[in-house]
Amino acid sequence: MTELLETAEDTNAMGEESQKGIPIRSISRALNILQIVNRAGSICLMDIAKESGLPYPSACRIVQTLVHEGMIEREKTRKNYRPAPKVQLLSYGYQDDNELVRIARPHIEALTREIGWPVSIVTRVGNQMVLQDSTHAMTTRTFAQYYPGYSLPIAYCADGKAYLSALPKDELDFLKQHLGPRMPIPGDPNCVLDPLDDLDSIREQGYAIVERVPHTITPGRTSCISVPLTKNGRVVAALTIAFFATTMNQNKAREDLLSPLRRTQGFINNALSNHHSNERLYEFVA
């Protein structure tokens, strides 16, 4: 009975929303769950429902639909769901020479050889920070391999904070209104602190540090320090170093990593600003 009522509700909502020209809620929910599964790598149905904020029956129905369509699959050894190979079809037809990655790659490789920790180039897509390139494969100092397309909620990661802090104030104020509901910190669902209340200090100091990043493949085990990347003064991405949370605290990270990070930031910013290709740098807007 509950599922019938929810189906009727979704059908009515689809009719109303299509008439108003706003997104169809059921599609938005399915895409959100697909992102949750992709971000987690492996996740149970109960956690999918919690992460999505949906009733368990609704989340279950969407998950089964995604399984039917071949976008996700259930693991054979446990009751978890993971991305299926067919999900790669979603990227077919997407064209992007990614000049940002081409320019930055030699510099992040050199930085990793110098410090030993993985370095990432991350850009904003809506309310997510999406990995474009990283040097995780170059070092053993990582708990997991991260590949292009991996995303983190913008308000809870160092690269997101660094990126947002470099925006003009009017753009930042507008963006804050469209970030959607804040995600609860794992283990502290009742946390009401605004994760963006430190942007003024980050803007002043020019970098962001987040200890024990919660929304990763290994939640809480890594910390990150990040700086914005700009082209002719306009922020286009973030440059981030990830390190083991048990190895460094914030003071140690500043002492050991901030100087080489800023040096690399300068190299990339100069290269981007001096680049005269007619092709637009990789950037998405909300």
Cβ neighbors of 201 (< 8 A, separation 6 or more) are none
- Phi, psi torsion values for 188, nearest 5 degrees: -140, 65
pTM, to two decimals: 0.63
Q: Nearest CA to 72 among 89, 84, 90, 85?
A: 84
Q: At what angle do helices 25-40 and 2-20 cross, to 10 degrees?
A: 110
Q: Give the separation between CA 237 and CA 132, rounded to whole angstroms.
A: 9
Which pLDDT tens digits describe the chain residue by residue (286 residues)?
A: 444 445 445 545 445 444 555 578 889 999 999 989 887 778 999 999 999 999 999 999 999 999 999 899 998 878 899 888 777 667 654 444 478 999 999 999 999 999 999 999 999 887 788 899 999 999 999 998 888 888 888 888 999 999 999 999 888 887 777 665 555 555 555 554 566 778 889 999 999 999 999 888 888 999 999 999 999 999 999 999 999 999 999 999 999 999 999 999 999 999 998 876 444 444 433 3
**Token pair for residue 81?**
């769901």
Q: Where are the alpha helices (DSSP H) in the chain?
A: 2-20, 25-40, 45-52, 56-68, 99-115, 158-165, 169-176, 199-205, 250-253, 259-273
Domains of the chain with CATH codes = 2-90 (1.10.10.10), 99-273 (3.30.450.40)
